[in-house]
């Protein structure tokens, strides 16, 4: 039986202009788009008028399809349509379960193409003027998920808290206190930390402080808004609110 093709596209961190040209071209021929909660809906302007849109996004404390259900939907639509797009926030294989979806579809001999996207782990800090590396300050950076499949804080964070590298944590706001405690246990209370919510979007919220300022940081979070946590001396380069406003006026 003939099947269609599934294309996994990285939608980027939020700003629709950060979609890659290759991703845009794939959207232009999409029959069906299964999209994540963090994928900007402005990207739908690139799709054909008759395109079908399926929301399979996951948000904390909200009803959402399981990963198994998403896998089944991708295969189901690939047997009905020629071009099925899976639109995922950021990059599809940076904590995006993109490879799980690709592996499942390939079991049914369905062609899968992966189109990388701009990851929020780099883009969100960059647009807040935080370089994840800088000569003489940070020679490397870690990108770690804030929680594992069982909902607990990743053990990699324990090792990261002992490092001098820049630490970038995705999906970690729900465990912010636990994460900060790991660094406090390493006597790093004065280490700068930045939290960028809705990074690269017009409503982004940048919170700056130090590890020991955990209660103040938490009080300034916007509820239910996703964010990237950056820990390290590079946070001292963070953009001011005035400069951020100039950036978004130009873009």
Q: Of 24, 156, 171, 218, which residue is the catalytic one?
A: 171
Mean pLDDT throughout 1-23? 94
pLDDT(51) > 50? yes
Q: Of 22, 58, 134, 218, which residue is the catalytic one?
A: 58
pLDDT(63) > 80? no
Mean pLDDT throughout 209-221? 91
The arrangement of strands across the sheet holding 111-115 comes to 52-55, 32-35, 83-88, 5-10, 111-115
* 17 is known as an active-site residue: no
Q: What whole-number distance in Å separates Cα of residue 153 and Cα of residue 144?
A: 10
For the domain spanning 5-115, the CATH number is 3.40.1010.10
Q: What whole-number distance in Å separates Cα of residue 39 and Cα of residue 85?
A: 12
Q: What whole-number distance in Å separates Cα of residue 236 and Cα of residue 218?
A: 19
Residue 244: predicted pLDDT:
46
The arrangement of strands across the sheet holding 205-210 comes to 141-145, 166-170, 227-231, 192-197, 205-210
Q: Of 36, 91, 188, 210, which residue is the catalytic one?
A: 36
Other beta carbons less than 10 A from residue 141's beta carbon: 21
For the domain spanning 120-250, the CATH number is 3.30.950.10
Local confidence band at 202 (pLDDT 50, 70, 90 cut-offs): confident
* 213 is known as an active-site residue: no
Distance of CA 250 to the CA centre of its chain: 24
Q: Which residues contact 102 (CB under 8 A, 6 or more apart)?
A: 6, 8, 112, 114
Residue 59: predicted pLDDT:
64
Local confidence band at 62 (pLDDT 50, 70, 90 cut-offs): low
Condensed to tens digits (0 to 9), the pLDDT of residues 222-235 reads 998 999 999 999 99
Tokens of 227: 């964010």
Residue 240: predicted pLDDT:
47
Note whether 5-115 and 120-250 share their fold. Answer: no
> Could you tell me the residue ranges of all domains in the chain?
5-115, 120-250
* 171 is known as an active-site residue: yes
Half-sphere exposure for 136 (CA within 13 Å, toward CB): 0
Residue 243: predicted pLDDT:
47
């Amino acid at each position: 039986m003939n099947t269609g093709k599934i294309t996994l596209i990285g939608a980027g961190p939020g700003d629709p202009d950060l979609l890659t040209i290759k991703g845009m071209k794939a959207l232009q021929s999409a029959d069906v788009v299964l999209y994540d909660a963090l994928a900007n809906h402005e990207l739908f302007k690139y799709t054909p008028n008759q395109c079908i849109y399926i929301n399979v996004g996951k948000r904390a404390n909200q009803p959402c399809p399981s990963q198994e259900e998403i896998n089944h939907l991708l295969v189901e639509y690939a047997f009905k349509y020629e071009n099925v797009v899976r639109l995922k926030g950021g990059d599809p294989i940076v904590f995006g379960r993109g490879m799980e979806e690709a592996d499942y579809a390939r079991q049914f001999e369905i062609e899968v193409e992966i189109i990388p996207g701009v990851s929020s782990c780099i883009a969100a800090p960059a647009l807040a003027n935080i370089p994840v590396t800088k000569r003489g300050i940070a020679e490397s950076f870690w990108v770690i998920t804030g929680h594992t499949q069982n909902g607990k804080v990743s053990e990699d964070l324990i090792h990261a808290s002992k490092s001098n590298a820049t630490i970038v944590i995705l999906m970690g706001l729900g465990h912010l206190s636990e994460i900060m405690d790991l660094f406090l246990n390493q006597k790093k209370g004065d280490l700068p930390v930045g939290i960028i919510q809705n990074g690269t979007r017009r409503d982004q919220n940048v919170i700056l402080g130090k590890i020991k300022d955990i209660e103040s940081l938490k009080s300034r979070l916007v509820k239910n808004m996703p964010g990237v946590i950056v820990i390290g001396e590079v946070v001292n380069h963070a953009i001011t609110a005035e400069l951020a406003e100039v950036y978004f006026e130009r873009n």
